[in-house]
A = this chain, B = another copy of it.
Amino acid sequence: MSEVSQGGRQPTIREVAAHAGVSPMTVSRTLAGGVNVRPDVQQRVLAAVRELGYHRNENARSLRPGQASGLIGVAITNLGNPYYGNFALGVEEVAAEYGRRIVLGNTGEDPARERQLIADFIGRQVEGLVLVPSGGASDHLQPERLGDIPIVLASRRVYGLDVDAVLLDDVGGAYRGTRALLDAGHTRIGFLGNVRSVFTGQRRYEGFARALAERGIEPDPDLVQREQQDVESARDAMRRLLDLDDAPTAVFSSNNRNTVGALKEIGRRLKAGADVSELPAIVSFDNFELAELMPVPVAVIDHDARQLGREAARLLLSRLGGVDRRGPARLVEMPVTLAPSSTD
């Protein structure tokens, strides 16, 4: 049995420090993530924590005036999408460097779930929020509703909400990807996107339409499919595009889920005997694993989801203290790169 269960007395942080031969501050720092503590010292502290059965009571700390919960609330739209797994990883890494942990929730693109999740996070006294917004009304995100809790939006903005945001260069990336297809001689280019209310979908469509307009091409409504949120519906949309009498010779896909759906439809047609030369080339906003092994050429508009997560966390942490705490809202736009599929 451990010391904890013998009589119920908890060892104090001073006892742990004495056991490890360090200061109580070093014990605190180690348990808060180990920033500025040498690895060998951390090991010694953790050994003492284990030997004495010490449990830091985070929640008790959070209730002392001036002490914080050490939690960052992170609400994303789809953790099953590898893009958002990497995004959450980036937020977690930077939060951990600063002794914070993330409380993670999945909204499934449902504004009602987002609303409830944010209320729940606030109830748990998170120190800050990172949100990939699902779109829709934003009253629950307004600063006067969140009180002192800072929020950073990622990937998407919310109209009428003036808070920190980390975005991708959606318009520029979509513009360059579409122009590459035009330069290769394509004039009938399909568009696969997600629902119109989603901020990134609008921005990427804007870049697509701008590139066409420069060449005097009006987007053909038959070629624009903008309601797909998952792989299945994207596959159906691709099927409709390829079934047109005058099918597109290339397709611009505005996100990972649409790209996977489009490629699944291509795979089905190849299996049914289609000639690969009859199938469209694809430009995909969002990279995906093994893009270089696809049967049709896939160029990707690439960016680093983990880096986006890290940047969102950095913006948020800068709001938790110091001079940045009450500065004006900041917008960071992360670069994207257009790359043909390659094996490297």
Q: Contact residues of A with B, CB < 8 Å? A: 1-2, 4-5, 30-31, 33-34, 42-43, 46, 49-50, 53, 55-60, 62-63, 69-71, 79-82, 84-86, 88-89, 92-93, 96, 101-106, 112, 115-116, 119-125, 139-140, 144-145, 147, 260, 263-264, 266-268, 271, 288-290, 292-295, 306, 343-344
Partner of A104, one of B102, B266, B292: B102
The CA-CA distance from A140 to B306 in the complex, in Å, is 30
Q: Is the interface of A mostly helix, strand, loop or mixed?
A: helix
B140 contacts A124, C-beta separation under 8 Å: no
A123 contacts B56, C-beta separation under 8 Å: yes
Q: Known contacts A58-B125, A293-B294; is A5 also within 8 Å of B144 by CB?
A: yes
The CA-CA distance from A25 to B277 in the complex, in Å, is 64
The CA-CA distance from A145 to B267 in the complex, in Å, is 52
A60, A62, A116, A288 interface centre (most CB from chain B within 10 Å): A116
Q: Known contacts A63-B63, A101-B105, A293-B293; is A79 also within 8 Å of B88 by CB?
A: yes
A116 contacts B60, C-beta separation under 8 Å: no
Q: How near does chain B come to A2, taking the closest CB pair, in angstroms?
A: 4
What are 5 A-B residue pairs whose CB atoms fall within 8 Å in the complex?
A34-B116, A58-B125, A59-B63, A79-B85, A80-B82
The CA-CA distance from A42 to B120 in the complex, in Å, is 13
Q: How near does chain B come to A172, taking the closest CB pair, in angstroms?
A: 26
For A267, list chain B residues within 8 Å (CB): 290, 292-293, 343
For A34, list chain B residues within 8 Å (CB): 116
For A105, list chain B residues within 8 Å (CB): 92, 96, 101-102
B70 contacts A144, C-beta separation under 8 Å: no
Q: Known contacts A34-B116, A119-B31, A289-B260; is A4 also within 8 Å of B147 by CB?
A: yes
A85 contacts B96, C-beta separation under 8 Å: no
Please give me the 4 A-B residue pairs with the lowest Cβ-Cβ distance, nearest first: A85-B85, A56-B123, A82-B82, A58-B124
For A4, list chain B residues within 8 Å (CB): 147
Q: How near does chain B come to A79, taking the closest CB pair, in angstroms?
A: 4
Q: Known contacts A85-B84, A343-B267; is A115 also within 8 Å of B289 by CB?
A: no
Q: Which residue of B lies closest to A84 (CB)?
A: B85
Q: Known contacts A58-B123, A343-B268; is A106 also within 8 Å of B79 by CB?
A: no
5 additional contacts (CB under 8 A) given A5-B144, A70-B124, A289-B289: A50-B139, A57-B123, A80-B306, A92-B106, A263-B293
